[in-house]
Amino acid sequence: MLGLMKSAALELGRYNITCNAILPGLVGTALTYNEQRFRAAIAQSNKAVSAYPTAQETWDARAPTVPLGVGWLQPEDISPMAVFLASDAAALVTGAEMAVTGGDAAKVS
């Protein structure tokens, strides 16, 4: 997908069309509020996983490992980036990968 976005940015720039990608971090939605995802998120934070992890337990384990201290993002945390990219303020932004992760993308693994 990123290659397609970059190709589109290169090809469409001459027509003043910009193309960018928003790369969201872990977002709290119905798709991520499940035991399997909770287990994976807790395991990534190097904490012990309980038999039946809860959303709060997952948040508490994950938040200290994210620079901005959030266990996961909310959908409304992503929308300001989309609004920015759709605005005149982003007229010269094209071919960019915009990570909205609460700082999670800055971590070195």
Instruction: Read off the pLDDT of residues 9-56 as tens digits, 9 standing for 90 and up.
Output: 999 999 999 999 999 999 999 888 999 999 999 998 888 888 899 999
Which structure tokens are listed for 84?
A: 């920015």
State how far the Cα of 81 lies from the Cα of 86, in Å rounded to an integer: 9
Element (H, E) at 40: helix 35-44
- Distance of CA 98 to CAs 3, 43, 49, 77, Å? 14, 26, 31, 13
Phi-psi region of 46 (alpha: psi -120 to 50; beta: other; left: phi over 0): left
pTM of the model: 0.85
Q: Which residue has the tokens 């939605």?
A: 29
